[in-house]
Structure 1
Amino acid sequence: MITAATNVLPAVPPRTPATPPGVVRAVDLLGAAHRLVIEHGNERYVLSLTRNGKLLLTK
């Protein structure tokens, strides 16, 4: 028989990073072209700014 107590996961405290992540403004990162190519391993990704002002990451 399954009880409600068996479906409850133990509480896990949130991780706190030792140092906060760096912050970079998108406009500074993308530049006037509003595009940036990111190399990760053997893959390339394009980070671009849409006409609606949203960021889009594509492979």
Structure 2
Amino acid sequence: MDQMMQLHSAGDSSRAKPERDAASIESSQLMAGRRELLIRHGASTYRLRVTASEKLILTK
């Protein structure tokens, strides 16, 4: 079964605080006008997509 994680907006108080040395990038730069992006991590491929309500969903 696919695992799903919804990335929360910056205003969401349940979001964990990023580490001091964590990189930051705007989602618009990462997506570069696309609605979907494949991310390879080791032997796995993840799909990052923008929903109709402009939220980000990451699935394996």
Q: Does the TM-score normalized on the shorter chain lie above 0.5?
A: yes
More helix by share: 1
Unaligned runs of 5+ in 2: 1-18
Tell me the residue number matched to 1:36.
37
The CA deviation at 1:33 is: 1.5
TM-score (norm 2): 0.61
Note the alpha carbon deviations across 1:11-58, whole angstroms, 9 max, x for none: xxxxxx5x4211100011011122111101101001011010100001
More strand by share: 2
How do 1:1-59 residues align onto structure 2 when only pairs under 5 Å count?
19-59=20-60
Which stretches of structure 1, 4 residues or longer, exceed 4 Å deviation after superposition?
Answer: none
Assess if the C-alpha contact under 8 Å between 1:35 and 1:47 holds in 2.
yes
- Partner amino acid, structure 1, of 2:32: G
- Partner amino acid, structure 2, of 1:47: L
- Partner amino acid, structure 2, of 1:35: E
CA RMSD of aligned residues (A): 1.3
